[in-house]
Amino acid sequence: MTSHFSEPPKKRLGQHFLHDAGIIANIVHAVDPQPGDRLVEIGPGQGAITFPLLDRHRELTVIEFDRDLIAPLTHAAQAHGTLHVIHSDVLKVDFTALAEGGTLRLVGNLPYNLSSPILFHALDHATVVRDMHFMLQKEVVDRMAAGPGSKVYGRLGVMLQAYCRVTPLFDVPPAAFHPPPKVDSAVVRLVPRPAAEIAVRDRAMFSHVVRDAFGQRRKTLRNALSKVCDADAFAAAGIEPSLRAEQVPVEAFVALANALAGTA
């Protein structure tokens, strides 16, 4: 069958197109689209995940930044189902408006150079996101799911785990892509926590505390947070200030930010 796609992957956009049929099938199985779901794919590329999802679900919205991919993607999709294309930088897409009062399920093989900003952008709209299935650099997935005491436990993991359940699903080798990236990849599932389960009182304060705590990892919390925390705040949160950030669990960061928000 003749391909509709003549444009080669663009290095400047971090494009690595998935082609491994087994991996693609595993992703579709993990997403498991159900009738009535509003699926949104970020960065469909040449449609490796798009078309199998359309075959299964018959309707899909995609967000694509590369104008050169839109016409061939739209043409090829006609044989699979109804495709709605949003030509935009995903960081400028208002997911809350896109949900139109319902909920979205996000899917995507994310550009690795933009993965963290995209994750935080999705988190800003978590109240309308039912779940997310993303392909990311394996190192990033490891950081997202890490617990205290791990060498890769840091700001990304704390911020995501406070608002989502993070579940790594399976690894993906470089050979599954064209061109193959220089790193291993992994697929992860994120499920936003119900509002009643999120203990963060002040999101801005929580973000500020976590950012400063991990800003200089070798410092103790007493030193890293000296501008915002005093002994009373640490005591209220039940945290020993001589600890370093990587030793402190997510719920303790939440308690500390809440203590500070209560005195602000």
Query: How many C-beta atoms surround the C-beta of residue 170 within 10 A?
Result: 12
Q: Is 157 annotated as a binding residue?
A: no
Q: Where are the beta strands (DSSP E) in the chain?
A: 17-18, 39-42, 59-64, 82-87, 104-109, 129-137, 164-172, 177-178, 185-192
| CA-to-CA dists, residue 201 to 96, 232, 260, angstroms | 21, 18, 10
Helix axes of 138-145 and 115-124: crossing angle, nearest 10 degrees: 40
- Report how far residue 65's alpha carbon sits from residue 85's, in angstroms, rounded to the nearest whole number: 10
Residues β-bridged to residue 107: 41, 133
Q: Is 110 annotated as a binding residue?
A: no
Q: Is 133 annotated as a binding residue?
A: no
Q: Is 89 annotated as a binding residue?
A: yes
- Tell me the binding residues for S-adenosyl-L-methionine: 16, 18, 43, 64, 89, 109
Residue ranges for the known binding site are: 16, 18, 43, 64, 89, 109
